[in-house]
């Protein structure tokens, strides 16, 4: 006899499962890019530590300003 949790999981449409999986993959790739970008900028583009700091600071400040208006 299936448990209530298994019965509930079977009733979730396949489209919801696909969207959830795609969302998870996009989140993983976003975190990978965010963590590897400074190393790429320094090794490949030859950016200085100051430039990397400015780019990271600009990205964080933009995110915080958008949060003020979006809630």
Look at residues 64, 61, 37 and name the one whose alpha carbon lies nearest to residue 51: 37
- Higher-pLDDT residue of 8 and 68 is 68
The residue segments making up the domain with residue 60 are 4-70
- Say if pTM beats, i.e. exceeds, 0.85: no
Confidence of residue 10 (pLDDT cuts 50, 70, 90): confident
Cα(69)–Cα(67) distance, rounded to whole angstroms?
Answer: 5
Cα(34)–Cα(40) distance, rounded to whole angstroms?
Answer: 10
What pLDDT, on the 0 to 100 scale, is given for residue 1? Answer: 61
Q: Is the pLDDT of residue 3 over 80?
A: no
Q: What tokens appear for 32 in the block?
A: 């990978």
How many domains does the structure of the chain reveal? 1
């Amino acid at each position: 006899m299936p448990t209530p949790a298994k019965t509930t999981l079977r009733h979730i449409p396949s489209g919801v499962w696909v969207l959830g999986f795609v969302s998870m993959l996009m989140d993983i790739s976003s975190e990978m890019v965010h963590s590897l970008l400074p190393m790429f900028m320094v090794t490949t583009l030859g950016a200085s530590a100051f430039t990397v700091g400015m780019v990271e600071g600009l990205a964080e400040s933009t995110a915080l300003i958008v949060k003020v208006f979006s809630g």
